Amino acid sequence: MCGIIGVCSIDRNIAPMISLGLRRLEYRGYDSVGVAIVGEGGIQVWKAKGDVDSFLSRFKVDSIAGRTGLGHTRWATHGPPNDVNAHPHMDCRGKIAVVHNGVLRNFVALKNILELRGHSIVSETDTELIAHLIEDEKHFSSSFFEAFVRAVSRLEGSYAIAVVNEDEPHRVYFARVKSPLIIGVGNGFNAVASDIPAVIEYTRRIIVLDDGELGWITPGEVKVFKLTDEGLMEVSREEILSRVVFIEWGVEAASKHGYPHFMLKEIVEQPDSVRSTYEGNVSDPVLETIASLLASSDNIIVTGAGTSYHAGLTFTYYLANIAGRHSIPIIASEHRILEGAVGRGDVVVAISQSGETFDTLEAVRAFRRRGARVVGVTNVVGSALSREADIAVYMRAGPEIGVAATKTFTSQIMLLTLISIYTARETGLLGGSEVKVEVASLAEAPNIVRESIGRSLEIISDRELGEHRSAYILGRGLGAHVAKEAALKIKEIAYVHAESYPAGESKHGPIALIDEGFPVYFAATTDSPEITGNIMEMAARGARVVVVKPEDYKLPVGVKEAKTVEMPPTRGDIKLDPYALTPYFQILAYKEAVARGYNPDKPRNLAKTVTVE
Ligand code: AGP
């Protein structure tokens, strides 16, 4: 998964816009970086392995003259991170430059054809083939755009691409299928980019491109076409204008705002993001529509990846225990396990904060082919999921730049809990007045999450886990799902092998791992007092036990060997427990990572949005 940007301006050097855009896109990948600038003497390319900051300072990018150019920050899919595989890539004669986010499925076939036709491919990437393909198609085309369209028509897989050519120094071509691409509409300039933060400093007027759309920008023009089975259809100027959205959030939301890392900023933002999710959705009629769909469906399938899957698990819990509806959670990349049993009367709730996760989109497409209706729960307006779902509903959590999902997790839970309550009204389990009480109780969540963050920042030491390379994070009932998310955070940010499983399972094997001082954390939600036995089992075998629970939740017996961490009270309301417990584990993971010398915003091997299979 990579970040791409292309800019053309009528009167200014665009290198500073490119470099700022690369900084904003670095969360999408950071193993190599590159820039192409179209100048009087043709196209110049600078590219290297390494992160954005080192690249920009090494090549003094901001001082490069030129009014049209491309930028790319890479997360390797084809070919290891090195200078040759870094984007942009060029054709044989160095007259075309391409940057790309995605994966070409017909990479090998294209490479063979192009090499047979005499092209010399110098890198191991699929992207370079695009430059050679355009070059090759120029022999059969009357214009560069025609060659571009012919080349794009031959690509299979996922791609968001931006292309410049030295014969048209004021134009950037673009195309997208399955990988996100937006247009930033400016004054005297236009830009294409993988994501809104790349251009937000310069313009808040955004057009979200759809799959199959391609075209070009000049400093004063945006031309969009749709590649259809019937051929190339131009999108009218009126439609383009109607698709321009004004982005409400500004630069601050896309910057660290004084915090050392985006992850910490976004953890601390949760009182606001949870409130925004609540207030932005509580009266949204879309939730009623979704609720009636869920109440009347044959089966409910809940799918997502990573943190979004964990939020989905809490949804299955609330759907069952608030609305009396059974649902089947399935990890998106494992959708085949269920596929054959899915049919027309079923509803799929697909959860993805980016709305671009390949696995989740593939699961959605597979279930739709089986006739299921799809509800998309996402944080990004115009994302692929929002456009491919039958009904889309938005978390309204604001942009999440940190690779680790934090505020979007608690926002997903908030939104999914509201949907569960409204579904209970449709199933008749809750009457109108009861629904009002349940909904009103959620208004307390922002204060609980605020208090939880404050306490956690205060009490969590920098080296909670010491030198341990492993830990257990256990829970029962809803706590088992909170524990899953906790373990993921600790794994992906602090690189400690934290394993979660339902606490009751301890005696069925995992407890064999316990030796003196082994760290065992319990996410003790108020629905499962029987967890006390599991706590005592672990403590009795010398584990270093920490019980994280709401302060007003009295476990049946005190466990003197265990350390108890008191989080804000939740009055035994299981709907509020996640807001009391989750921040503790987010902050534990964050502090552990920083103390171990890792950068929480750039965890190794990870990218914010995984748009590859
Ligand atoms: C969570 O911290 C990770 N960044 C990852 O597991 C993420 O939740 C997963 O890739 C799904 O992303 P999505 O919500 O954008 O679909």
- CA of 578 relative to ligand 1 center, distance in Å: 18
Residue closest by Cα to atom 16 of ligand 1: 352
| Lowest-confidence pick of 202-216, 397-411, 547-561, 586-600 | 547-561
Q: So what's the pLDDT on residue 382? A: 73
Which among 227, 253, 279 is the end of a domain?
253
Nearest-angstrom CA–CA distance, 133 and 384: 27
Would you say residue 280 lies in a domain? yes
Specify whether 2 is catalytic: yes
Pairing of strands 42-49, 32-39: antiparallel
- Residue 174 Cα distances to 13, 75, 192, angstroms: 20, 20, 7
What average pLDDT is seen over the chain? 93
- CA of 308 relative to ligand 1 center, distance in Å: 6
Nearest-angstrom CA–CA distance, 519 and 539: 10
Nearest-angstrom CA–CA distance, 546 and 593: 19
Would you say residue 603 lies in a domain? no
74: enclosing H helix or E strand: strand 68-74
- CA of 605 relative to ligand 1 center, distance in Å: 13
Provide the whole-model pTM.
0.72
Report helix, strand or coil for 249: coil
Do 371 and 295 lie in one domain? The reply is yes
DSSP codes, 478-531: HHHHHHHHHHHHHHHHH--EEEEEEGGGGGGTGGGG--TT-EEEEE--TT-TTH
Residue 210 has pLDDT above 80, yes or no: yes
Would you say residue 600 lies in a domain? no
Tens-place pLDDT, residues 579-596? 999 999 999 999 999 999
Residue closest by Cα to atom 3 of ligand 1: 404
Count helices and strands in the chain by DSSP H and E runs = 19, 25
Considering only residues 474 and 607, tell me which one the structure prediction assigns the higher pLDDT: 474
Structure tokens at 57: 């300072």
Q: How confident is the model at residue 545 (pLDDT cuts 50, 70, 90)?
A: very high
The number of folded domains in the chain is: 2
Tens-place pLDDT, residues 367-388? 999 999 999 999 987 788 998 9
Do 295 and 227 lie in one domain? The reply is no
Nearest-angstrom CA–CA distance, 56 and 48: 10
What is the side-by-side order of every strand in the sheet holding 32-39? 42-49, 32-39, 68-74, 3-9, 189-193, 182-185, 205-208, 245-246
Q: So what's the pLDDT on residue 41? A: 87
Do 206 and 328 lie in one domain? The reply is no
**Amino acid residing at 198:** A
Q: So what's the pLDDT on residue 248? A: 79
Omega prior to 219 cis, within 30 of 0: no
Tens-place pLDDT, residues 13-48? 999 999 999 998 887 777 899 999 998 889 999 999
Query: What integer is the mean pLDDT of 504-510?
Result: 91
**Amino acid residing at 294:** L
Q: Measured from the CA of 606, which atom of ligand 1 is nearest?
A: 4
Would you say residue 462 lies in a domain? yes
Nearest-angstrom CA–CA distance, 593 and 406: 15
Total length of the chain: 613
Q: Measured from the CA of 304, which atom of ligand 1 is nearest?
A: 16
Would you say residue 611 lies in a domain? no
Would you say residue 417 lies in a domain? yes
End-to-end Cα, the chain, rounded Å: 10
Specify whether 608 is catalytic: yes
Nearest-angstrom CA–CA distance, 407 and 265: 9
Tell me the best of 27, 179, 195, 308 to mutate to test the pocket of ligand 1, counting ligand atoms within 8 Å of each CB and taking the most.
308
Do 215 and 294 lie in one domain? The reply is no
Do 426 and 544 lie in one domain? The reply is yes
Q: So what's the pLDDT on residue 68? A: 98
Domain residue limits at 541: 270-595
Residue closest by Cα to atom 5 of ligand 1: 306
Would you say residue 43 lies in a domain? yes
459: enclosing H helix or E strand: helix 445-459
Which among 200, 225, 253 is the end of a domain?
253
Do 276 and 249 lie in one domain? The reply is no
Q: How confident is the model at residue 10 (pLDDT cuts 50, 70, 90)?
A: very high
Q: What does R_g of the chain's alpha carbons equal in angstroms?
A: 25
Would you say residue 264 lies in a domain? no
Nearest-angstrom CA–CA distance, 3 and 28: 6
Q: How confident is the model at residue 253 (pLDDT cuts 50, 70, 90)?
A: low
Q: How confident is the model at residue 610 (pLDDT cuts 50, 70, 90)?
A: confident
Query: What integer is the mean pLDDT of 185-204?
Result: 94
CATH number at residue 48: 3.60.20.10
CATH number at residue 534: 3.40.50.10490
Tens-place pLDDT, residues 269-285? 999 899 989 988 888 88
The conformation of residue 535, written as its DSSP 8-state character, comes to H
Do 292 and 248 lie in one domain? The reply is no
Do 217 and 362 lie in one domain? The reply is no
Q: So what's the pLDDT on residue 1? A: 64
Residue 499 has pLDDT above 70, yes or no: yes
Residue 254 has pLDDT above 70, yes or no: no
Catalytic residue among 2, 49, 138, 484: 2
Structure tokens at 429: 């389990």
Tell me the best of 27, 357, 490 to mutate to test the pocket of ligand 1, counting ligand atoms within 8 Å of each CB and taking the most.
357
| Lowest-confidence pick of 35-39, 247-251, 423-427, 485-489 | 247-251
Do 78 and 171 lie in one domain? The reply is yes
- CA of 79 relative to ligand 1 center, distance in Å: 24
